[in-house]
Amino acid sequence: MAWRLLTKKESLWVQVIAAKYLKDDNFWSHSVKNTASSSWNSIMAVRGHLKKGCCRIVGDGSLINIWMNPWIPTIPGFRVSFNQQGPYPHLEKVKDLFIPNELAWNRELILRIFSPFEAQCILNISLPQESTEDKMVWTLTPTGQFTTKSVQLMLSLDQGSSSTISSIPWKEFWKIKDVTPRVHTFVWRILLNGIGVNANLSNYVASVSNECAHCHLESETIEHLLLHCPKAQAIHFASPLSLCLQNGDTIET
Ligand SMILES: [Zn+2]
């Protein structure tokens, strides 16, 4: 029901419900009043789960808020890492990142504002040939249509990793100056578990084994590959820092 509320704005019952409960409020940030009905309360309660699977598909970019909405499919969470609108008050909707009156990304502007990784992910989004309305898709099914089964699958895969991610001070992280953009982005992807190690790939590709391709001893998680794999430990030790890592060491976040 919550999914239909987001995607079937033209249907009568959605308009009635939105007028009664949301009024002009935002679906995602709306706070529920005590007097609301139990079905409205349950719609509001599943918002957190919906948030993880919803992504907007850019059409004419007029309905998508650059800073708040999920719209970049190749970034975990589908959102920009933090709200940088402050210095750019005129940039609010995704269409503000287009070349004026064209359906084309303003490459120069995007590279100036976002981190190199985010900029690249944005520039990789292909825009439609003709102006179409922005759409909402559900990313956890191949068809983009919402199913309750896919939510259950998401919940079973989602064992508490998101609480670690949200506790990272991203604003401070992106302010760090003395690293190259490449290393910065790489560390960011490590923290989000966004590296194509075998343990991650094997979740999605049946023919990939999760085994470490270097030592064949353990599952190739990011932590194993960077800290615990005998090959990694040899490299750390041979480095100018002569690091001697123990197996109990973890990536602190
Ligand atoms: Zn290994």
Q: What gap in Å lies between CA 195 and CA 70, rounded to an integer?
A: 20
pTM for this model (two decimals): 0.53
Contact 106, 98 (CB under 8 A): yes
Amino acid 253: pLDDT: 46
Measured in Å, residue 211 CA sits from the centre of ligand 1 at 8
Q: What gap in Å lies between CA 252 and CA 31, rounded to an integer?
A: 34
Measured in Å, residue 117 CA sits from the centre of ligand 1 at 27
Measured in Å, residue 244 CA sits from the centre of ligand 1 at 16
Measured in Å, residue 217 CA sits from the centre of ligand 1 at 6
Measured in Å, residue 199 CA sits from the centre of ligand 1 at 11
Amino acid 47: pLDDT: 75
Q: Domain residue spans in the chain?
A: 1-52, 54-163, 170-238
Amino acid 64: pLDDT: 93
Measured in Å, residue 45 CA sits from the centre of ligand 1 at 42
Q: Which two tokens stand for residue 238?
A: 């041979």
Q: How high is the mean pLDDT in each 10-residue block of the chain (253 residues)?
A: 72 73 73 75 74 85 92 84 82 95 94 88 91 83 70 59 67 83 82 80 79 93 91 88 71 52
Q: What gap in Å lies between CA 89 and CA 102, rounded to an integer?
A: 21
Measured in Å, residue 230 CA sits from the centre of ligand 1 at 6
Cα angle for residues 60, 109, 26 (degrees, 5° grid): 45
pLDDT single digits (tens) 197-231: 888 778 767 778 899 999 999 999 998 999 899 99
Amino acid 99: pLDDT: 96
Q: What gap in Å lies between CA 249 and CA 235, rounded to an integer?
A: 16
For 47, the 3-state DSSP assignment is: helix
Measured in Å, residue 116 CA sits from the centre of ligand 1 at 30
Q: What DSSP element (H or E) covers 171?
A: helix 170-175
Alpha helix segments (H runs only) across 54-147: 107-113, 116-123
Q: Which two tokens stand for residue 242?
A: 């002569």
Measured in Å, residue 154 CA sits from the centre of ligand 1 at 28
Measured in Å, residue 226 CA sits from the centre of ligand 1 at 9
